[in-house]
A = this chain, B = another copy of it.
Amino acid sequence: MKKKIAIVGLGLIGGSFARAFKKYTDYTVIGFNRTQSTAEKALADGAIDAIGTPEDLKEVDIVLLSMYPKVSCDFVEKHMEAFKPGCIITDDCGIKSYLVERLTPLCQAHGLYFVGGHPMAGREVSGYKASDADLYRGASMLLVPTEASTPEIVKQVKAMFSQIGFGQLVITTPEHHDRMIAYTSQLCHVVSSAYIKSPSELEHKGYSGGSYRDLTRVAYLNETMWTELFIENKQALVPEIDEIIHHLTEYRDAIAAEDEQTLFRLLKEGRQRKEQFG
């Protein structure tokens, strides 16, 4: 019998997952979305096979939560009695400690499995309309096994995500995930947003090229989502912001003092790091 997957939340990320499961697997894809018209659009597009109701959950093998962290946890709590025993729950939220702490005991108590997930892919535009079956082709997928999972379940989840095109499956812990994401994703958004607060931003047109474009691209962000993510990950993110402020101050002081030797060393170290790890 064909496996059933429920995608809960059909935004850019969830919508792309739905499309990818339809394109690359024979899973039956059930879509859940707060705004009904979006779910209807996804159904009409063939991005999902059916619009889900809570009753459908008892026949679903895998639930992929694709909403903000709090709402994702609330959804599981609310429907805890409705899931099929042995159902695998996974998600695509940008932080993991928070979800693992809330969902692991719940899933353990109800005979469900939980493996956290986070795809390293996205776009600066959001919403179902921007979704794409090939958003995940070649990208990295981070997986966080929990006490509510087994090696066999993790293996199944890995195989499932490989099937829809991820190029790399990385197994990590919630703490390590959140520490890395603070650096590789959250700090980018903080820096980009802070960058364009300069008064010079108001007159940059005609004076800017590729480096400005890259540095400020992700300032165009969803403030509701990132406010939640940043605060839920403050233990990892605040030290990263302190770190870059500390380094910016080193460059600043070398320039202000016209200390060519120090500035040269700082820039060379940066270039070498980029060469070695970039």
Interface set of A (CB-CB < 8 Å, partner B): 120-122, 139-140, 142, 168, 170, 172, 177, 179-185, 187-212, 214-224, 226-227, 230-231, 234, 237-238, 240-245, 247-252, 255-256, 258, 260, 263-264, 266-271, 273-275, 277-278
Q: CB-CB < 8 A to A270: which residues of B? A: 192-194, 196-197, 219, 221, 223
Task: Flag if A241 contacts B252 (CB, 8 Å).
Answer: yes
Q: CB-CB < 8 A to A192: which residues of B? A: 211, 215, 270
A190, closest chain B residue (CB): B251
Q: Which 8 A-B pairs have the closest CB atoms?
A: A193-B270, A183-B200, A194-B247, A223-B267, A188-B211, A214-B214, A180-B207, A184-B208
Task: Flag if B273 contacts A255 (CB, 8 Å).
Answer: no
Extra 12 A-B pairs, beta carbons < 8 Å, given A185-B209, A193-B271: A120-B207, A142-B207, A188-B214, A190-B248, A197-B243, A197-B269, A205-B277, A211-B218, A214-B218, A216-B278, A220-B275, A241-B248
Given A188-B211, A195-B244, A196-B278, are A221 and B271 also a contact pair (CB < 8 Å)? Answer: yes
Task: Flag if A207 contacts B191 (CB, 8 Å).
Answer: no
Q: CB-CB < 8 A to A168: which residues of B? A: 206
How many copies make up the complex? 2
Nearest-CB distance from A250 to chain B (Å)?
Answer: 8
Interface of A is mostly: helix
Task: Flag if B121 contacts A209 (CB, 8 Å).
Answer: yes
Q: How far does the alpha carbon of A200 sit from the alpha carbon of B200 in the complex, in Å?
A: 31
Q: Which of B202, B217, B245 contacts A252 (CB 8 A)?
A: B245
A169, closest chain B residue (CB): B206
Q: CB-CB < 8 A to A188: which residues of B? A: 211-212, 214-215
Task: Flag if B245 contacts A196 (CB, 8 Å).
Answer: no
A206, closest chain B residue (CB): B170
A251, closest chain B residue (CB): B190
Q: Which of B122, B139, B221, B274 contacts A219 (CB 8 A)?
A: B274
Nearest-CB distance from A73 to chain B (Å)?
Answer: 17
A-B contact pairs, 29 of them (CB 8 A): A120-B208, A120-B209, A122-B209, A122-B210, A140-B207, A142-B206, A142-B207, A180-B200, A180-B207, A183-B204, A184-B211, A189-B267, A193-B267, A194-B270, A196-B278, A197-B269, A197-B273, A199-B243, A204-B277, A211-B217, A214-B217, A215-B218, A219-B274, A223-B268, A223-B271, A224-B264, A226-B267, A227-B267, A231-B255
Task: Flag if B223 contacts A207 (CB, 8 Å).
Answer: no
